[in-house]
Structure 1
Amino acid sequence: MTRQDQRGDASAGRRLAEVDPGWGDGTRCVHAGHPVAVPGEPVVAGPVLSTQYHLAPPAEAGEADIYGRSGNPTWRALEQAIGELDGGRCVVFPSGMAAIATLLRALLRPGDVLVLPSDGYFGVREWVRAELSWVSVREVPTAGPWSDDVFDDAVLVLLETPSNPGLDVCDIRELSRRANTAGAMVAVDNTTATPLGQRPLELGADIVVASDTKALTGHSDLVLGHVTVRDADLADALRRARTLGGAIPGPFETWLALRSLGTLDLRLGRQAENARAVAELLRDHPAVRGFRWPGWEGDPAHAAAARQMRRFGGVLGFELPDADAVRRFLERCRLVGSATSFGGLHTTADRRARWGDPVPEGFLRLSVGCEDTDDLVADLRAALDGIRWP
C-alpha cells in the first residue's frame, strides 16, 4: 500500500494517520484508519453521510469524492485500517457475499475453471450454481486430497481455512505455490481467522476475502465484507465494479466497523482464552463426539494450523447425539444463545444441519464470546449434564 493510498483523504478534509508496521496488533487496531491529531478536532471522526460533494471548477480535476456511490471518506478510512492489518489494498462491500460475488464476477469469464471448497460456506456454492452457470466448478474438501490435476486450467482457487463449519485447515503457502505455478490465482476466505489470526497474503495468496459481519467487527450489529489484494490494478477493478454495480456499504455501518475494529485484539484475546477453556471441557466430555478446534493439540488440523495461524480463534465444533439433544442443551444454557452467525461478544451455538450443511443432525458450531471464562465453562458443563449417546 502506497503512502498516497494510506493518506489519500486530505482532499476530503480528513488526513489519515500513518501506522507503524512494527507496532503490535493492539496498537494497530486502535490507531489504523483514524485521522491525524489536529488541535480542536475530534479524536474520533464521525461518518460522512453525504450523497454528493462540492465539485472543483470544470478546468480542475482530481476530486477525492463526487457522488456517494463512487466514493466516501469513511470507506477509505476503514479500507486503510483493514488493508494495514491484511497487508494489501482493501475494498469494502456491504456484505461478505457482496465481496466474494464482486470478486468472482471481476475475475471469471465463460468457460473458466473455478476451484471451490466443498466443505466451506454453503452460500458461496449456492450462489455460484445460481449465478455463474457458465463457469466450470471443481469442488475439493479443505483437507484435500489436492491432486495436481485440480489446478489444471484453473483461473481461481478459493480456499477457506479454517473451513466453516467443519474447521478443517489447508496449507495456504503450499497450495498458493502450486496454484500460481499452474497459472491460477488464490483467494482465501479469512472470515474465521481474521487478519490477527492469519495473514494469507504473507503466505503467498493473491487475495483475501472476508465477511466482516463476524469476528472482525464482533458486535453482531452490522453486515459488511471486504476484499484485500496485492495487485493495485485488481483493487482498482474491484472499486470500479463496486461503483457500477452499486454494491456499496453504508457510511454509518462502515463507521461502526471502524469503531469496532479498535477492540479486535482485546476481543480475540478473551475469545481465545475462553476457547481454550471450553476445549478442555468438551474434548473429553461423554456427551460430546467429533470435537474440533484447530488450537487443540489433538485436532487433525492442529499441525497445519500451527504453521500458519497466529491465533486459533473462538469457533469450535462438536456433535451431540441428535437434534433433540441439541434442543435440550440449548434450553439448559443460560449464557449460550441459538444464533447463526459467529464471532460476536455473546457466545452462540448453531445446529448447522438445519441450514443444509452436510453435517450430522446433532453437529453444533459454537462461537465463544467474551463472557467470564469460569461462568461460561460452568454454564456449558451444566447444560451437557444428562445428555447421553444411545
Structure 2
Amino acid sequence: MQLATKLIHAGVEPDPSTGAIMTPIFQTSTYVQAAPGEHKGYEYARTQNPTRHALEAALAAIENGKHGICFGSGMAATDAILRLLQPGDEVIAGNDMYGGTYRLFTKVVARYGVKFHFIDMHDAANISNYVNEHTKLVWVETPTNPLMHIVDIAAAAETAHRHKLLLCVDNTFASPYLQNPLELGADIVVHSATKYLGGHSDVVLGAAIVKDDALAEQLHFFQNSCGAVPGPHDCWLVLRGIKTLHVRMRQHSENGAAVARFLRSHPGVDKVYWCGFEDHPNHAIAQKQMRGFGGMMSFTLKDDRMENAFRVLSSTRIFSLAESLGGVESLIGHPASMTHASIPREDRIRNGLADSLIRLSVGIEDAEDLIADLRQAIE
C-alpha cells in the first residue's frame, strides 16, 4: 500500500455497531463487564480506549512499525522512553535539540542519576567516542530544532547497535511523510503529534513507535502505570489530521523551498538554515533519507542586533508570533527566548544558536503572500 493510501486508511475500520466511516470518540472512563474478568478487551480508559487504539495502529502503520504507544504530549512520550533507563546509565544526544527535551534531560531525569552527553552528530561516527560501559541510549533529532542539522540515521543505528545501544529518533520535524527512521535502523521513533501529525494547532499529543514486542510491552507498562495518556477526543483529532498529512506536507515543502530561496536572496538576511540547499551540511544525507525538505527553517539577519530581530518578529502580518510548529498556518518564533530559553546561553551560542536567530514554520498559505509578508517585515 502506498503512503498516501496508508495515511487515509491505516488503523481505521468502519465502526462495527453503526458502520460509521470515521472512528467514534469513545468518551468513557470505564467499561461494563459481564462478570469479573469477562470483558470485550476494555476495562478502564487509562489502560485501553478504542479511539486511542485506532490512532496507535495508524501511527504504527505509517511509520512502518509494529506498535504505537500514545501519550498526553510529546514530552510525556519522551519521558516514558527515558524510564527505560536506570540510575547510572548514560545517554548520548545531539547538541542541537528542542529546548523542552534538553530541560527534561538535564533538570528532571539527570536528578535520578542518568548522565547525558550532548555532542556534535554531523559525523555519526563521533557517537563512538562517547560510548562507555554505562551507555544505554542514543537520542537523535534530524532535522534538528532549530538549526536544521542532518544526522545520518542509518550510520547512527549501525554505531548504536554495534555497541548494543538503543537508538531513538525524534521525527517531529520531518513527519512520517518525509522520513521513516525505523526503516533506517532506529529502535524507537518519537513524535510530538501536536505538530505535523495533528496539523491544525488544536491538539497536544505525543507518540512512540517501535517494532520490538518487548520494547513495546515496557512502554505500554509505563503508559498505563504512569497515566500520561491522551483523551479520546485528542486521539480523534490526530487521526483526522493524519488523513491529510501527505497533502499538507507537499505544500509545506513547496512553500518552504520558495521561502528559503527568497530569504537567501534577500540583502538583509545573513544565514538561512534549511536542509534543502545543496551546500547545507549533510544535504546529501538528507536527500538519501528524506522524501523532501519540509517547511521548517531558521535565519539570521546581517544586522544581528536583538532589537532588529524583535522588530521583524513583531512586524509580520501573516506569520504569527507563537510557540509550536507544523500547523497549516505559518508561525514565526525566537528560539532564544521561546522554545530554547531553558538552554543556558553559553551552550546555545557555542552550538550556533544565536540570540537573534529567527525560526519559521512555513504553513500552506499562498507562497507569494508569505514572501511578501517576510519582505515587508525585514525591510
TM exceeding 0.5: yes
The residue aligned with 2:49 is: 72
Structure 1 residue aligned with 2:4:
26
Aligned to 1:151: 131
Q: What is the match of residue 270 of structure 2?
A: 289
Query: How far apart are the structure 2 equivalents of 1:180 and 1:301?
Result: 22
Alignment correspondent of 2:317:
334
Residue in structure 1 matched with residue 118 of structure 2 by the alignment: 139
C-alpha displacement of 1:270: 0.8
**Normalization by structure 1: what TM-score?**
0.89
The alpha-carbon deviation at position 123 of structure 1 amounts to 1.7
**Shift in alpha-carbon separation, 1:290–1:313, aligned structure 2, 3 A:** same
Give the % identical residues.
Answer: 38
1:195 lines up with 2:176 in the alignment: yes
Structure-2 residue corresponding to 1:344: 327
Deviations 1:287-307 (A, max 9, x none): 111211111222123112111
Q: Which amino acid aligns with 2:300?
A: E
Alignment coverage as a number of residue pairs: 361
Secondary structure of 1:254's counterpart equals helix
Measure how far apart 1:139 and its partner are: 1.3
Cα deviation, residue 43, structure 1: 1.8
Unaligned runs of 5+ in 2: none
The C-alpha deviation readout for 1:160-217, integer Å capped at 9, x for no partner, is: 1111111101111011101111111100011101111111000011110111111111
Q: Could you tell me how far apart the structure 1 residues matched to 2:317 and 2:127 are?
A: 46
CA distance in 2, matches of 1:175, 1:53: 44
Structural mapping, 1:1-390, within 5 Å = 22-23=1-2, 25-36=3-14, 41-58=19-36, 61=38, 63-88=40-65, 89-105=67-83, 107-132=84-109, 133=111, 134-144=113-123, 146-153=126-133, 154-320=135-301, 321-355=304-338, 356=341, 357=343, 358=348, 359-385=353-379
SS of equivalent residue, structure 1 residue 55: coil
> Are the equivalent residues in 2 in contact too, given 1:142–1:160 (CA < 8 A)?
no
- 2:293 and 2:210 map into 1 onto residues whose CA distance is 23
Unaligned runs of 5+ in 1: 1-21, 386-390
Amino acid at match of 1:27: T
Cα distance, 1:62 vs structure 2: 6.1
Q: Secondary structure at the match of 2:336?
A: helix
What residue in structure 2 maps to residue 11 of structure 1? none
SS in 1 for 2:126: coil
Q: Find the aligned partners of 1:39 and 1:215 in 2 and give their Cα distance.
A: 31
* Separation in structure 2 between the aligned mates of residue 344 and residue 47 of structure 1, nearest angstrom: 22
Pick 1 or 2: higher relative contact order, CA cutoff 8 A, min separation 6.
2
Q: Is the 8 A contact 2:14 2:23 kept in 1?
A: no
Aligned to 1:9: none
Q: Give the whole-Å Cα distance in 2 for the aligned partners of 1:319 and 1:271.
A: 21
1:303-362 residue CA offsets vs partner (Å, 9 max, x unmatched): 121111112111011012222222222333221110111111111111111132512121
User: How far, CA to CA, are the matches of 2:18 and 2:46 in structure 1?
Assistant: 31
The residue identity in structure 2 corresponding to 1:226 is A
Secondary structure in structure 2 of the residue aligned to 1:289: strand
Offset of 1:118 from its aligned partner? Answer: 1.8
Instruction: Give the letter for the 1:122 counterpart.
Output: G
Per the alignment, in what secondary structure is the counterpart of residue 208 of structure 1?
strand
Q: Aligned-pair distance for 1:147?
A: 5.0
Q: In the TM superposition, what is the alpha-carbon distance from 1:152 to its structure 2 partner?
A: 2.7
Task: Give the counterpart letter for 2:121 in structure 1.
Answer: T
Matched residue type, 2:298: G
Say which SS state the counterpart of residue 353 (structure 1) adopts. coil
Instruction: State the shift of 1:378 in Å.
Output: 1.8
The secondary structure found in structure 1 opposite 2:68 is: strand
Structure 2: which amino acid aligns with 1:324? E
**C-alpha contact 2:298 2:358 (8 A) present in aligned 1:** yes
Q: CA RMSD in A?
A: 1.7
Give the match's secondary structure for 2:189: strand
Asked if the contact 2:91/2:116 (under 8 Å) is kept, the reply is yes
